[in-house]
Structure 1
Amino acid sequence: MNDGTPLPLGATASPEGVNFALAAPNATAVELCLFDGSGAHEQQRLRLTARTDGVWHTRLPSARPGLVYGWRVHGPWSPREGLRFNPAKLLLDPYAREIVGRYGGEDLFLGHDPSDPDQRDTRDNAAIALKARVTAPLPAAPPGHSRVAAGDRVLYEVHVRGQTRLHPQVPEALRGSYAGLAEPAVLDHLQRLGVTTLSLMPVQQRADESRLLALGLSNYWGYSSIGWFAPEVRYWSGRPGSTPASEFRALADAVHARGMELVIDVVYNHSAETDELGPTLSLRGIDNALYYHLRPDDRALYQNWTGCGNCLNLAEPRVLQLVMDSLRHWVSELGVDGFRFDLAPVLARGADGDFDPRAPLLAAIAQDPLLSRVLLIAEPWDIGPGGYRLGEFPAGWLEWNDRFRDVQRGFWLQGSEGIGEFAHRFTASSDDFRRNARAPVASINFITAHDGFTLRDLLSYSERHNLANGEGNRDGSSHNLSRNCGVEGDTDDPAVLAERLRLRRVLLAVLLLSQGTPMLLAGDEIGHTQRGNNNAYCQDNETTWLDWDRADPAMTAYVARLLALRRDAAPLRSTRWWPAEAPQGATALRWLAPEGHAMRTEDWQRGDRQALAILFESPAPEPSWLVLLNAGEADVEFTLPPGRWTQRLASDPAADPAHAAPLEAALTLPPSSLRVART
């Protein structure tokens, strides 16, 4: 061995061998431990002597890809000072490209004595510890990120395993894997729908919480990351000649070959090491005080703005470096086109805990020549102080807009939102997003997402049914704004089923025809149910796996029609804010009362009628578009604007012929319905 170099961090293979580098500035000594191919037997332990700016490093000239290794890091044990070094615990390299082993919740992973958290546990866990395997780099991903025009983008939030675990057209050996998701039958379905962008739920290597493991469950959603460079091995098919990384890259290439984008959900706000009583897997043992936000009043405790036990401290340059290097790796080597950042305000909290829209990570991404060009999506809330930051991320970022969700549910299902609030959200929530030169597409509109009811369940359950999660039905939101239409759960009552269908269709129409960036939840287009579980994060079973044998082809066709209509109707997906008065010769947005006149103050304030006409009036020869809606409980008669109008879509099934149909000057809309027409 020789000294090697302090950069790049992690294990880097080259013709000169493998260079190892670990950032642990507060450590007193570091040992590199080499294992057999299975990772079960430690074969050699090498004490590093070179240290540069807090990075310990060495090169092994004879090492090659395939080598399995881990770290032992020495230093003081003083939890009250935030120091938790314990060389008895083998540690996973945070830069690991491939991970060997799986955390099973054993107390042997605890850095502290199980009976006395103030004392260091001296038992060695090397035989079962998570380890890294040295990998050869993949070929560089071709450029071309953000392939889809902003106004054309349609997101589809999907779980790699759940999408194909029961898919009859996917070979059994590939179901639930990256390779399964890349199968032509799967991508054909998404293309027929009109989806442009797959948004994968977390695919970085995770470690399940010990509480779930004790219940025989797992963190199915994946928001428990421990390996930020490594694709989750549980989604690898294991096909000979492939690796988790190469199979994921093949998925990215297959998506790109269809002209679509691939976005992944990333979890940099916390790690799977959880709170002060959690396991020592990696960062906690490498340099706890460096990597985590600790409470100033007691540094044995962690800030918990995530609800998951800890928060990574991106105010520290080395932690920022870890995240930036990880992001670049997923783009340049694994081929993704963007990221959805879980609990994003945590990433922009400084050492004082305050959110800063010019925080180091946001500034670093903005100036990075690679990352500044990819799709950036924030989940704009956490549970810390002042944690709700909708609309406050920088220009260029998109954000999940839960206000769109809540207003649409309240307007159509509860009668709790007025027509003015509906109109505001229909046109991309300008009060939140029309700042800092941001465009309407910054608002990611959704009715349902992984966290909450599916669309079918939203209209079948008034209460959550989460007993299977093992928390006494206390977990998950109790504020769902759902409506069971008279029966809780499944029913064969034709009147109830008709109402549910009508509401599903109108909610999908509003979602996919509103200004902004729409996001579909995978399975809503086929009628997927989780049987009332609105927090199925730990259900890796038929609860969450899409049941393709029971898919609703009529609903799938309806979603495809909606997205085709969105592509055809340019004003509905405008990337510019609508002015109060349109310039001469430009399309104008006009709000009309059912009687045909421009909406007046008294029309907006009426509490007895939830009906509106939205006219996108274009100069000839461009077509004008008209959206009519009625969210009330009674029929409403509309007088159409002058012109020859042709119906293009009706959310109420009885009035929705497959072909375009001419409309009379007056039209009656039944309750909970929407129509679209054009000249």
Structure 2
Amino acid sequence: MGYIGVSLCPIIRVPDRVNVNLNNGIPTKLREHSLAAGRPNPLGATFDGQGVNFAVFSEHAEAIDLCLFTDDGRKERARIPLLERDGDIWHVYVGGVTPGTKYGFRVQGPYDPENGHRFNYNKLLLDPYAKRIAGRLKWSDAVMGYRVGSPKADLSFDTRDSAFAMPRSMVVDPSFNWGDDKPPAISASDTLLYEAHVKGMTARMPGVSPMTRGRFLGMASEPVLEHLTKIGVTTVQLMPAQAYVDDHFLAKQGLKNYWGYNSIGFFAPEPRYMTDQGIWEFQTMVRRFHAAGIEVVLDVVYNHTAEGNEMGPTLSFKGFDNLSYYRLAEDKRFYVNDTGTGNTLRVEHPMVLRMIMDSMRYWVEVMHVDGFRFDLATILAREESGFDRQGGFLDALRQDPVLGNVKLIAEPWDLGPGGYQLGNWPHPFLEFNDKYRDNVRKYWRGDSGIVADLAKRVAGSAEQFDHSGRAATSSINFVTVHDGFVLDDLVSYNVKHNAANGEDNRDGKDDNYSDNMGVEGPTDDEKIRAARALRKRNLLATVFLSQGTPMLLSGDEIGNSQWGNNNTYAQDNDQGWVNWNKPDHKLLAFVEKLADLRRAHPVLRQSRFLHSRARRTDGKPDLFWRMPDGRAPSAEDWQNPNWRSLSVEVRTSSDTPEYAASNDVLFLTFNAGDEVTVKMPDLPPDCLWELVLDTAAPEDGPQCITGTSAKIAAQSVCVFAQTPA
């Protein structure tokens, strides 16, 4: 809840370097706070055992006051001016302040929106470097810097105090007993990504304590860890876990921002995922994941904040220095909106870039996370001339001794000019590959002329990623993520059903490349249910059998449905959460089988690209595409819209050094047509082909192939392994 109905006690403004007794703003002998100049570094509130150093950035402010609150956060007990300024860093040291202290800032400066300035001393501001945020934002006109309803709109000025509606920044002691914790350091070749939402994963999961469901401690519970280990997950990618707020338009409808892509604190864990005990809850989650051999990657939103455009609230950055923190249009009253959310952070400003880098280092060094997935990442790499692979953000990342050792994942697009940059990111970035998603969906839906595209995706999308020393693992291969249909809905709905979002079904993607198999939504028709189950297995098998880094969406492995909603960003309820009550145990067992298969065969986890070149070890091509009759496809075959059965023989890449080469050989068949007889590739005299996976018969064990051909069931994937006779 927000801090509602608070009337301020008398305020004491205190000079620098004096001793003053403060208690609820009234001098007493109960407590003494000694003030000193403090230091400009580090930024934020830093506890040293005896007091706290406060340091904040503002290039254009005229004065900044620190506001201290009572323990319950309801009453402001003192305002302390930050009289020391080193460059654009304002600071003060307050002795006697301890972890748990709630605070905020008020910043004086020009309110001149037409020149980019939106200072308003009446608005309580969150510390941009707050390590913890207490309370929830209460939406009120008072959090706006302008008078709502004024004919001057945002050019007007609001004098109301916003403190009653604002959450508080909180001083923390980040020390934690990590014991022998160390990062699992999973190689990209061995990585199986699993995208999960802290609340969505745990809200309905059996065995998770009711007290910890929907929280970091629930995410770290034994049922979750056992499940992830069972299906071979190496790396959990958590949807936004940094502090965020519910959008105003959602709050007015009684909805919440469930996904969390509306950040307000880049250093603070989201309060709703904690039991209010402290940041150690997040640290405990990471430690437990590491003990299970699983990495933690954070989905981070460094591209915009929850303050919206010129009609949005003043919560933090806008009030500290709007001109520095945000990219503004030529008319500085308005914001560049490359994010579609109202504003865009000005990453090219050195102090904004520093904040992002400081945030990432904090999550690695203090919270022990293993990497980051950057939402709308192109924004971070956009300079004045456009996307720049040698721009400030990417250069800063590559030279950083801390961040150079963690996983970096880009969502390689945004809404701005030149925003689509798939394949253009430098090593060691991995990238979400939407071409993979769309081509694989179209192939299994039965679209014509997609075979050549499928071949490219199975081979690692080399045309996008094979340059500048990048690895074949650069492509993150997926068919579902949080935005879009989940796997069960992908085979059950032809159109989106987003009415619950309150946007008249206008939100969410329209081009889902889905197929309901003849009935929209759930059905009791056993033939349709069987066809849907087979389609799901085919889609998942394709992901696990492709070169690159595979990714699963939480719940897909048990057949979770979101009832046809392909944009559940506002559904913090059973529609958005994973339904663990009716798991598809057969599908779960199949995913386990896929994970085991991928681990067992190095040719599926290569870091070097396959280009059908002769290997040094035996002269055989590392990749050999085949028609059902065994011959190599011609140029005409690749263009044939009726071709429905693609086969490929896979070996260790021709670029692999001889000492690392493997004798592992697989023959894969992706048959989106009717039953077909496939000629098996020739073998050495002491070997035979063994069928190790058949999506049409998922529960069957390995079977030896005694003849020169094999029948492949309609609409199925088969995997054959070369085995000693």
TM-score, length-normalised on structure 1? 0.96
Asked if the contact 1:130/1:281 (under 8 Å) is kept, the reply is no
Q: Which of 191, 194, 210 is matched with 1:153 structurally? A: 191
Q: Cα distance 1:663–1:317, how it changes in 2: closer, same or farther (>3 A)? A: farther
Partner residue, 2:230: 192
Shift in Å, 1:656: 4.8
Partner residue, 1:134: 171
Secondary structure at the aligned position of 1:199 is classed as strand
Q: Cα distance 1:300–1:623, how it changes in 2: closer, same or farther (>3 A)? A: closer
Superposition pairs of residues 491-530 of structure 1, within 5 angstroms:
491-530=523-562
Determine the C-alpha separation between the residues in 1 that align with 2:700 and 2:290: 35
Determine the C-alpha separation between the residues in 1 that align with 2:56 and 2:449: 54
More moved, 98-107 vs 153-162 = 98-107
Shift in Å, 1:137: 2.0
Partner residue, 2:665: 624
Determine the C-alpha separation between the residues in 1 that align with 2:664 and 2:372: 36
Partner residue, 2:692: 648
Determine the C-alpha separation between the residues in 1 that align with 2:112 and 2:664: 72
Asked if the contact 1:12/1:134 (under 8 Å) is kept, the reply is yes
Shift in Å, 1:631: 1.2
Partner residue, 1:328: 361
Secondary structure at the aligned position of 1:582 is classed as coil
AA aligned opposite 2:367: L
AA aligned opposite 1:133: M
Asked if the contact 1:177/1:237 (under 8 Å) is kept, the reply is yes
AA aligned opposite 2:174: P
Secondary structure at the aligned position of 2:568 is classed as coil
* Paired residue total: 671
More moved, 575-584 vs 134-143 = 134-143
Partner residue, 2:68: 34
- Specify the structure having the higher radius of gyration (Cα): 2
Provide, for residues 3-60 of structure 1, a one-character-per-residue CA deviation record: whole Å limited to 9, x for no partner: 1111111000003411000101100001111101121110101112111111110001
Partner residue, 2:158: 121
Determine the C-alpha separation between the residues in 2 that align with 1:77 and 1:611: 66
AA aligned opposite 1:545: W
Provide, for residues 71-112 of structure 1, a one-character-per-residue CA deviation record: whole Å limited to 9, x for no partner: 000001111011000000000001001112211321111011
Q: Which of 368, 382, 388 is matched with 1:356 structurally? A: 388
Partner residue, 2:453: 421
Q: Cα distance 1:177–1:621, how it changes in 2: closer, same or farther (>3 A)? A: closer
Determine the C-alpha separation between the residues in 2 that align with 1:359 and 1:623: 41
AA aligned opposite 1:455: L
AA aligned opposite 2:290: H
AA aligned opposite 2:336: Q
Determine the C-alpha separation between the residues in 2 that align with 1:542 and 1:353: 45
Provide, for residues 419-454 of structure 1, a one-character-per-residue CA deviation record: whole Å limited to 9, x for no partner: 211111111101110111101101001000000000
Superposition pairs of residues 595-674 of structure 1, within 5 angstroms:
595-617=629-651, 622-632=663-673, 634-643=674-683, 644-653=688-697, 656-662=699-705, 664-674=707-717
AA aligned opposite 1:493: D
Superposition pairs of residues 16-31 of structure 1, within 5 angstroms:
16-31=50-65
| 1:343 maps onto 2:381 in alignment | no
Shift in Å, 1:146: 6.1
Partner residue, 1:440: 472
Asked if the contact 2:325/2:345 (under 8 Å) is kept, the reply is yes
Secondary structure at the aligned position of 2:569 is classed as coil
Shift in Å, 1:622: 2.7
Asked if the contact 2:245/2:263 (under 8 Å) is kept, the reply is yes
Partner residue, 2:352: 319
AA aligned opposite 1:189: H
Asked if the contact 2:262/2:306 (under 8 Å) is kept, the reply is yes
AA aligned opposite 2:640: R
Specify every segment of 5 or more residues in structure 2 that has no aligned partner in the other structure, as ranges: 1-34, 653-657
Secondary structure at the aligned position of 1:263 is classed as strand
Secondary structure at the aligned position of 1:502 is classed as helix
Partner residue, 2:407: 375
Determine the C-alpha separation between the residues in 1 that align with 2:703 and 2:176: 49
Q: Cα distance 1:492–1:362, how it changes in 2: closer, same or farther (>3 A)? A: same
AA aligned opposite 2:364: V
Shift in Å, 1:548: 1.0
AA aligned opposite 1:300: R
Superposition pairs of residues 285-296 of structure 1, within 5 angstroms:
285-296=319-330
More moved, 259-268 vs 669-678 = 669-678
Asked if the contact 2:37/2:91 (under 8 Å) is kept, the reply is yes
Determine the C-alpha separation between the residues in 2 that align with 1:622 and 1:356: 41
Secondary structure at the aligned position of 1:503 is classed as helix
Provide, for residues 587-642 of structure 1, a one-character-per-residue CA deviation record: whole Å limited to 9, x for no partner: 7221111101222223322222221221125799934211112112x222111112
Q: Which of 218, 224, 235 is matched with 2:262 structurally? A: 224
Shift in Å, 1:659: 4.2
Provide, for residues 250-291 of structure 1, a one-character-per-residue CA deviation record: whole Å limited to 9, x for no partner: 110011001111101000000000111111000000000000
More moved, 118-127 vs 468-477 = 118-127
TM-score, length-normalised on structure 2? 0.90
Determine the C-alpha separation between the residues in 2 that align with 1:383 and 1:597: 44
Partner residue, 2:13: none
Secondary structure at the aligned position of 1:363 is classed as helix
Partner residue, 2:337: 304
Q: Cα distance 1:580–1:646, how it changes in 2: closer, same or farther (>3 A)? A: closer
Asked if the contact 1:629/1:669 (under 8 Å) is kept, the reply is no
Specify every segment of 5 or more residues in structure 1 that has no aligned partner in the other structure, as ranges: none
AA aligned opposite 1:552: D
Determine the C-alpha separation between the residues in 2 that align with 1:281 and 1:417: 52
Q: Cα distance 1:226–1:140, how it changes in 2: closer, same or farther (>3 A)? A: farther
Asked if the contact 1:99/1:131 (under 8 Å) is kept, the reply is yes
Shift in Å, 1:650: 0.4
Secondary structure at the aligned position of 2:333 is classed as strand
